[in-house]
Amino acid sequence: MNNTTMLYSGLMGAGMPIFVYIAGIVLAIIWWSRWPQCCALVLGGLLVLLLTSILQPVIVQQLVVNRGGTSIGQQMVMISMIASLFRALGTGLLIWAAFSGRPAPFAQQSRFETLPPRVQ
């Protein structure tokens, strides 16, 4: 198996999420004028996830081709841990985006009177 085939097979393993990340990036850019803070966080999170999904197979492929002094197992564990940290960062940005830029609570926007707070 040559190097290019190994790289393509590594990227194909992450194929569907890569398409979803690209679609999300396009939607965040389209809706930027409507919700800038939320879209900025979504764009940042999806870019981190996209780059991690693309770069991890490339780094692993380079590791296999250019075996260093340390064992491959140790290097693979380190690459996986770093990729997991970046995925956690991207997911954290997406969670932050889900709760950022929310409008005022619905009760404040409606024309109905709300009950006063209970006094104990």
The 10s digit of each residue's pLDDT in 69-82 is 667 888 888 889 99
User: What pLDDT is recorded for position 83?
Assistant: 94
User: With a cut of 70, which residues of the chain have pLDDT below it?
Assistant: 1-14, 68-70, 102-115, 120
User: What pLDDT is recorded for position 106?
Assistant: 47
- Sequence spans of domains, the chain: 12-100
Burial level of 40, CB count in 10 A (0-12/13-18/19+)?
A: middle
pLDDT, tens only, 7-21: 666 666 667 888 999
Distances 112 to 72, 92, 107, 109, 119 between C-alpha atoms, Å = 65, 36, 8, 9, 21
The torsion angles phi and psi of 104, rounded to 5 degrees, stand at -55, 155
How many angstroms from the chain centroid is the CA of residue 73? 26
